[in-house]
């Protein structure tokens, strides 16, 4: 499967036919990785089908924009396709895709910040709730990375403490500590009294 075919597959919103339902029930992530590593396009297509919603939600949590999240999800799967030969079969696929997505989205955010510095003008007639959302996104993006990640995963992705701990490979108590510190930092940055 070529990268351009993969991009078209992702953009078209992969449909699941009855034959794929059987493979979804039978093949584990490890089996899909093993098959995709040797060039099985169907196996990688199944990975896309299985994780496209997850990757999109993660991208949206960081970027807060539907089109940007769709573009990011496409880029994530292209990167994953190119990198799957180097992925160990026993790797956690969900965690690997999350990290690719996170790194891609952080790069997009950095580019946005640079573009804003180069063109700081805000168009007239911007609605106040939009401006508030942008301001909140900017404040969250100003948090140190460990705190920003837990805020996004908890409040934008609605993940449990356990899920966050698994994705970030930290303890549940560490997740709670990071969230507590992130909330305090946000209050200080927003000038909110405790």
Domain spans in the chain, listed from the N-terminal domain onward: 1-121, 122-194
What's the average model confidence in pLDDT over 2-24?
A: 52
Distance CA 33, CA 37 (A): 6
- pLDDT tier at 9, thresholds 50, 70, 90: low
> How far is residue 88's CA from residue 33's CA, in Å, rounded to a whole number?
8
Range of lowest pLDDT (7-21, 57-71, 75-89, 157-171): 7-21
Q: Determine contact, residues 183/140, Cβ cutoff 8 Å.
A: no
Instruction: Tell me if 1-121 shares its fold with 122-194.
Output: no
Q: Which CATH architecture has domain 122-194?
A: Orthogonal Bundle (1.10)
pLDDT higher than 70, residue 155: yes
Per-residue pLDDT tens for 91-145? 789 999 999 999 999 888 888 876 666 554 545 444 455 666 777 777 888 888 8
Mean pLDDT of the chain: 80
In the numeric block, which tokens belong to residue 44? 């990688």
> Which CATH code fits 1-121?
1.10.1740.10
Q: What is residue 18's predicted lDDT score, i.e. its pLDDT?
A: 46
């Amino acid at each position: 499967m070529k990268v351009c075919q993969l991009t078209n597959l992702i953009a078209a919103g992969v449909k699941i036919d009855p034959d794929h339902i059987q493979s979804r029930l039978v093949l584990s992530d490890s089996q899909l990785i093993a098959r995709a590593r040797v060039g099985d396009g169907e196996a990688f297509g199944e990975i896309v089908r299985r994780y496209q919603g997850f990757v999109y939600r993660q991208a949206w949590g960081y970027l807060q924009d539907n089109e940007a999240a769709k573009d990011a999800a496409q880029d994530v799967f292209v990167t994953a396709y190119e990198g799957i030969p180097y992925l160990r079969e026993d790797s956690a696929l969900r965690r690997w895709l999350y990290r690719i997505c996170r790194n891609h989205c952080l790069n997009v955010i950095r580019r946005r910040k640079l573009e804003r510095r180069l063109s700081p003008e805000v168009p007239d007639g911007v609605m106040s709730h939009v401006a508030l959302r942008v301001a909140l996104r900017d404040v969250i993006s100003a948090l140190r990375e460990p705190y920003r990640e837990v805020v996004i995963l908890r409040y934008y992705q609605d993940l449990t403490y356990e899920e966050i701990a698994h994705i970030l490979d930290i303890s549940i108590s560490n997740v709670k500590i990071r969230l507590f510190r992130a909330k305090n930092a946000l209050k200080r940055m927003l000038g909110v009294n405790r």
